[in-house]
Amino acid sequence: MIQIRNLNKYYNKGKTNEFQAIYDTTVTLPNTGLICILGESGSGKTTFLNTVSGLDDFADGTIEIDGTVIKKYGEKKQEQIRNQKFGYIFQNYYLLMERTVEYNILLALSMYDISEQEKEERVDYVLRAVNMWQFKKRLVSQLSGGQQQRIAIARALVKAPSVIFADEPTGNLDEANTMNIMGILKKISQKCLVVVVTHEKNIADFFADRIIWIEDGELVRDEQQEGKKIYQYVEDPHFYLKEFEENKVSEGNVELSVYHREETPKITLKLVYDNGNIYLSTENNGNVEFLTEESEHKVIDSKRPKVEQKDVDQIQFELKPVESAKKPRLSFREIREITRANLKTMGKKKIFLMVVLFFVAVVATFSFREVMSQIYINTEDVVKTDTHLYKISAVRNSGNEAVSSILEERQKYFGQVLEELQGAGYEVYRIPDTELVYEYEGFIQMENYSFELRDFCFVPLDKLSEDSLMYGKMPESDTEVVLDRRVVENLRESASEVESVITDISQVIGNQISTKQGITLTITGICETGQPDIYAGENLFSMLSDGYVADMECYVYADDSDVEGELRKISSVFSEDVRAHLQLSIENEAYNQIESVKMERRSNLEARVLVIAAILIISILMIYFIMKSDANQRMQDLSVYRMLGVPKRNMIGMYVWQNFLLTTYSSLVGVLLTVAAIRGLLDVEYMVFPWYTVPLIIAGLYLINILMGILTIWKLIKLPPAQIAARYDV
């Protein structure tokens, strides 16, 4: 039983074109019987039906279905009830046009846990009942309006629901089919409730157990029907001779029968018989029409047929309600099937979408690499000083009056700087800044060339642990040095000649380096410390540091893990006295080198990120709009699914799966090809493009594409089914 109490429904509520379509309606519908809702076009029949049957929202009032009270549209129990109990026949059919008849009807069963065999039997049964069985494998789009309507009816019948809501179910049918369909509905109304909306009074009169009249959104009359139970065909074009008066004219071999309803005017006919043919002419104004097999009219020598209640009772239709314990929802297999079909019908748009997705994947991968290469700093390229070294120097021209300007005095105070550093436990070094020239011995032709060593830094030998030695041995004399691998590699890369003769870095062991002071150093070993260092004894440092003291700078060697902390610590060492007379600068040069590269990169990066973001945003918008336009085109299908009770999460599932597939076919391929190209073209790329970035980009693209797919239908599927349908209709 359905009890509707004080139901009000508006269209465009709160807007200027607000329109009340149902006024404070209270009515009770029983469990069985055929109820007709009769009213003019626009009186609100469809609105009433959709609202009561849970396809549309309402402003206030309640709908109670078998004891369950629904106070507002969208309650979970409403969706459950409507799936369990209701079947719909829509005014506009709402079929999936590009699917077969069979598929459309199966869809109504696809959410139920019944055997394939039972599904098939049910489909066949209802198709036979509506005389459409022979069209089972046809596409719906290839059927006429009337045929489509019969499919829509079969679809509602196949579940054998306990309530059928039928909106003008025979609007497009001829009378014979109308009789059949209404007969079926009448038949099943013995066991269930059938609510039929119609504007045809004679249909209501004949079939309805009760008629409810609706006018401008109000139920104005409500009557049980008993009386007239004969249905006269009114649109039947045939000539039923028993309806006519008959006059016979007989003359020799010619016998003429004249049938007429009204008084005939004077009819003059001339009949000529010649050579086996009959010729007929008339002087009356009007046509002489020959009735043949194909004619619309037929001459039938009987009474006009009437349909009586007992004829309807003879219609056979018997289908048990679907029994299924499971909650109605589509299986994953079904979702995959639907998605596959959707993609198939997407056509050119799909190709375009895939091209854009591919393009976005390529751009995203390149951009990612760009950004990574900007963020990643290869310290070997940037750092030219040992990171442990802190340089302390006296800055000259200071504006501070107290700071000494007399050289001797400043030198004196700088001596104090050294003492204070040592007092604080720092080892102080005077590290020479000199030019070194590598001398290659081996090829005569190269003896005239000198190769300057670049980007190196002297570090006291005691900082080199023997463990870091790769080749050779530790120095023993003052002019022996150990080079870090990086220094040798820089040398190799500085000139192609050197590169071609030093094929292995260990070859430089025993080779010589000369200083600008004319001292010759011998390379005894190569170490691996990760620093651009040349290790030598401190005696060599003094030998190379002529005039060094006047420069007033020194180095301490300290922990490099917290550079800023170390800088603070060093600066706190100095006494007031020193600080009053000297303006000191304390810096970690390696750190400064990295910082300056970072600064330079940052502005660079900002510009790039901006361009990349713009490209990606435009592409993503493009993807969104293509997807959106596809969703709009699919609006009818979406409303069909929702009207048939496919849960929202299943619809989201369809879009997730669809975009998963699209992403796999386009974005994934795009990323993999781009990565392969980057790796293949630029061999050192793994440094700035570590392997884990690839799954990261791929996951990101899947996420974006799938989210976008959901976004395009999110708002849509949240609407009541009738409103989705209304959007499609306009």
Residues found near Mg ion in the complex (CB under 5 A): 46
Cβ closer to ligand ADP: 24 or 560? 24
| Contact flag: residue 23 with ligand ADP (CB under 6 A) | no
Cβ closer to ligand ADP: 80 or 632? 632
To which residue do tokens 């005039």 refer? 547
**Which long-range contacts (C-beta less than 8 Å, at least 24 apart) are formed by 717-722?**
717/638, 717/642, 717/648, 717/651, 717/652, 718/648, 720/55, 720/56, 720/57, 720/73, 720/74, 721/55, 721/56, 721/639, 721/642, 721/643, 722/50, 722/55, 722/56, 722/643
Q: Please give, one letter per residue, the 3-state secondary structure of 388-444.
A: CEEEEEEECCCCCCCCCCCHHHHHHHHHHHHHHHHHCCCCEECCCCCCEEEECCCCH
Is residue 124 helix, strand or coil? Answer: helix
Q: Which does 19 bind (CB under 5 to 8 A by kind): Mg ion, ligand ADP, none?
A: ligand ADP
**Least distance to Mg ion from the beta carbon of 631, Å?**
26
How far is it, in rounded angstroms, from Cα 153 to Cα 131? 11
Cβ closer to Mg ion: 46 or 667? 46
How far is it, in rounded angstroms, from Cα 121 to Cα 6? 42
Name the β-bridge partners of 196. Answer: 36, 166
Q: Which of residues 67-106 bind ligand ADP (CB under 6 A)?
A: none
Q: Which of 25, 43, 225, 373 binds ligand ADP (CB under 6 A)?
A: 43
Structure tokens at 96: 């999936």
Binding segment for ligand ADP (CB under 6 A), chosen from 43-51, 184-192, 241-249, 387-395, is: 43-51
The residue at minimum Cβ distance from Mg ion is 46
Site string for ligand ADP, 462-481 (x = CB under 6 A): --------------------
Binding segment for ligand ADP (CB under 6 A), chosen from 39-47, 345-353, 366-374, 677-685, is: 39-47
| Contact flag: residue 726 with ligand ADP (CB under 6 A) | yes
**Least distance to Mg ion from the beta carbon of 204, Å?**
15
Binding segment for ligand ADP (CB under 6 A), chosen from 41-49, 75-83, 262-270, 616-624, is: 41-49
Q: Please give, one letter per residue, the 3-state secondary structure of 550-561.
A: HHCEEEEECCCC
Cβ closer to ligand ADP: 555 or 728? 728
Q: How many residues does the chain have?
A: 730
| Contact flag: residue 720 with ligand ADP (CB under 6 A) | no
Sign of CA dihedral 119, 121, 122, 128: positive
**Least distance to ligand ADP from the beta carbon of 265, Å?**
44
Name the β-bridge partners of 244. Answer: none
Distance from CA of residue 293 to its chain's centroid? 59
| Contact flag: residue 41 with ligand ADP (CB under 6 A) | yes
**Least distance to ligand ADP from the beta carbon of 285, Å?**
43
How far is it, in rounded angstroms, from Cα 344 to Cα 687? 43
Q: Which of 33, 44, 525, 645 binds ligand ADP (CB under 6 A)?
A: 44
Cβ closer to ligand ADP: 21 or 505? 21
Q: Which of 45, 99, 122, 155 binds ligand ADP (CB under 6 A)?
A: 45
| Contact flag: residue 180 with ligand ADP (CB under 6 A) | no
Q: Which of 457, 430, 433, 423 is nearest to 552 (CA)?
A: 430
* 317 contact partners, CB below 8 Å, separation of at least 6: 129, 157, 184, 187, 188
Site string for ligand ADP, 46-65 (x = CB under 6 A): xx------------------
Tell me the pairing of strands 583-587 and 533-536. Answer: unpaired
**Least distance to ligand ADP from the beta carbon of 656, Å?**
29
To which residue do tokens 């009032």 refer? 61
Q: Which does 670 bind (CB under 5 to 8 A by kind): Mg ion, ligand ADP, none?
A: none
Half-sphere exposure of 205 (CA within 13 A, CB side): 11
DSSP 8-state assignment for residue 667: I
Structure tokens at 393: 């120097």
**Least distance to Mg ion from the beta carbon of 167, Å?**
6
Q: Which of 21, 156, 459, 536 binds ligand ADP (CB under 6 A)?
A: 21
Q: Which amino acid is at 269?
A: L
Cβ closer to Mg ion: 40 or 493? 40
Cβ closer to ligand ADP: 13 or 242? 13
Q: Which of 33, 39, 161, 653 binds ligand ADP (CB under 6 A)?
A: 39
Binding segment for ligand ADP (CB under 6 A), chosen from 40-48, 114-122, 137-145, 477-485, is: 40-48
CA of 223: how far to CAs of 25, 42, 202, 211, in Å?
Answer: 16, 21, 15, 5
Name the β-bridge partners of 255. Answer: 250
Q: Which does 485 bind (CB under 5 to 8 A by kind): ligand ADP, Mg ion, none?
A: none
**Least distance to ligand ADP from the beta carbon of 719, Å?**
11
Cβ closer to Mg ion: 86 or 541? 86
Cβ(558)–Cβ(390) under 8 Å? yes
Cβ(349)–Cβ(559) under 8 Å? no
Other Cβ atoms within 10 Å of 595 Cβ, number: 13
Q: Which amino acid is at 68?
A: T
Tell me the pairing of strands 520-527 and 469-472. Answer: antiparallel
Cβ closer to ligand ADP: 196 or 563? 196
**Least distance to ligand ADP from the beta carbon of 633, Å?**
20
Cβ closer to Mg ion: 171 or 305? 171
**Least distance to ligand ADP from the beta carbon of 90, Å?**
11
Q: Which amino acid is at 604?
A: N
**Least distance to ligand ADP from the beta carbon of 186, Å?**
22
Q: Which of 3, 10, 11, 100 binds ligand ADP (CB under 6 A)?
A: 11
CB-based burial label for 251 (10 Å; 0-12, 13-18, 19+): exposed
**Least distance to ligand ADP from the beta carbon of 335, Å?**
29
* 202 contact partners, CB below 8 Å, separation of at least 6: 231, 232, 234
**Least distance to ligand ADP from the beta carbon of 168, Å?**
8
**Least distance to ligand ADP from the beta carbon of 134, Å?**
32
Cβ closer to Mg ion: 46 or 479? 46
**Least distance to Mg ion from the beta carbon of 717, Å?**
23
Q: Which of 6, 18, 19, 297 binds ligand ADP (CB under 6 A)?
A: 19
The helix (run of H) or strand (run of E) holding residue 282 is: strand 277-282
Cβ closer to Mg ion: 46 or 490? 46
Cβ closer to ligand ADP: 11 or 125? 11
Binding segment for ligand ADP (CB under 6 A), chosen from 34-42, 243-251, 330-338, 512-520, is: 34-42
Question: Which residues contact ligand ADP (rule: CB under 6 A)?
Answer: 11-12, 19, 21, 39, 41-47, 726
